[in-house]
Each structure stands twice: as C-alpha cells, then as structure tokens.
Amino acid sequence: MRFILFLTLLGFLSTAPAAAQKAQPRDQQQIAALMTQQTSAWNKGDLDGFMQTYWHSDSLLFIGKNGVTYGWQATLDRYKKTYPDVTTMGKLDFKLLEFKPLAADTYLLIGKWHLERSIGDLEGHFSLILKKIQGQWKIIADHSS
C-alpha cells in the first residue's frame, strides 16, 4: 500500500509547475556532495555515517530486492544485517545519471551503484527522492536494485 502511495506521490510531484522543474546547479552540487559523503562513509565501513544522509524518520522508505523497509532505524538494521563486515561491504562507487527536480525542494536522482568486493562484485541501479529538510538534503525514499 505504501509503495502505491510512493508511486502516486512521485507522479504528483513530477507534474509540478515548469518553473520548479528546472535543475539548479547548486542543488545538484549539494546532492552530489551528499552522495560523496555516503560513498566515503561506506568505504570506511561506517554504516552509521552512511545513514546520516537519510531522513531520520519512521516515514523513510527503502525498497530493495526483498521488499519495502519502513523507517530510518529499520533501514540501518537491514544494512547491518546484509553487510555485517567490510568484506561484504566492499568499496562503493556511484554514477549519478540524472537529476530531476520534482519541486523547489525535492529531487529525483537516478544512478548506478557498484560494489567492488573480494567475494564477488555487485551492482545495480537506484532511484532516490531527496528533500531539503531544515536546509539539508536528505534521502526520503530509496529504491535500489
């Protein structure tokens, strides 16, 4: 049900006025810096630091291959269970493919992720919804596959 709400919200936001939909270079730079912060924390084996880029709310959505996870703490717990050590975490790299403003304070970010690991590499795509909350960009929804 919440996934349907997520898709409805995404559709609604994508119909925002054209003026609000022009990508702003400063926003893109700040969001790219947030993704660099994520990569740096991950590559240090710091999942708590990695999660600082997410909205610290029970309303955070994470959608992965095993379904939907609701909330910041549940998402952190999921990461810790899936990636219990630096060997399973590997080294993370993002390729940011598209920044699409949905509103003045909300972006859709599409990209690719790659984990280089001694136990076998993993890779996939992601779509993030980021919102500026109290002056900082935060991931409010993450769909990674």
Q: What is the pLDDT of residue 24?
A: 85
Question: What is the set of domains in the chain, with CATH numbers?
Answer: 2-14+24-144 (3.10.450.50)
Per-residue pLDDT of the chain (145 residues; tens, 9 = 90+): 444 444 444 554 454 444 446 778 899 999 999 999 999 999 999 999 999 999 999 999 999 998 999 999 999 999 999 999 999 999 999 999 999 999 999 999 999 999 999 999 999 999 999 999 999 999 999 999 9
Cα dihedral sign, 28-71-38-67: negative
Q: What is the pLDDT of residue 5?
A: 41
Residue 22 tokens read as 């022009």
